[in-house]
Amino acid sequence: MGHRVRVLVALWAVAEVVVFVLVATWIGVGWTLLAALATTALGWALLARQGTRALAELRERTRQRRPAGRALGDAGLIAAGGLLMVLPGFIGDVVGLLCLLPPTRFLVRGLLGRAVASRVPVQLRGPVRVRSDRAPGVPFPGGPSGSHVWRDGRPLVIEGEVVRDERAPGTPTP
Tell me whether residue 97 is in a domain: yes
pLDDT higher than threshold 80 for residue 99: yes
Tell me whether residue 128 is in a domain: no
- Whether 98 and 107 have beta carbons less than 8 Å apart is answered as yes
* Range 77-95 average pLDDT: 90
Tell me whether residue 165 is in a domain: no
Task: Quote the number of domains for the chain.
Answer: 1
Measured between its terminal Cα atoms, the distance across the chain in Å is: 39
Residue ranges of the alpha helices (H) in the chain?
A: 2-27, 29-63, 70-86, 90-100, 102-119
* Range 146-158 average pLDDT: 57
- Whether 105 and 74 have beta carbons less than 8 Å apart is answered as yes
9/15 Cα distance (integer angstroms): 10
Residue 83 belongs to domain spanning:
2-120
Tell me whether residue 75 is in a domain: yes
Tell me whether residue 166 is in a domain: no
Tell me whether residue 87 is in a domain: yes
Tell me whether residue 67 is in a domain: yes
Backbone angles phi, psi at 117, to 5 degrees: -65, -30
Tell me whether residue 141 is in a domain: no
* Range 86-113 average pLDDT: 89
84/100 Cα distance (integer angstroms): 10
* Range 129-155 average pLDDT: 54
Report pLDDT digits (tens) over 116-135.
888 888 777 666 565 655 55
Average pLDDT score, the chain: 80
**In terms of C-beta density within 10 A (0-12 exposed, 13-18 middle, 19 or more buried), how is residue 72 classed?**
middle
Tell me the pLDDT band of 143, cut-offs 50, 70 and 90: very low
Q: How many CA atoms lie within 13 A of 90 on its CB side?
A: 14
Helices 70-86 + 102-119 axis angle, to 10: 110
pLDDT of 41 reads 92
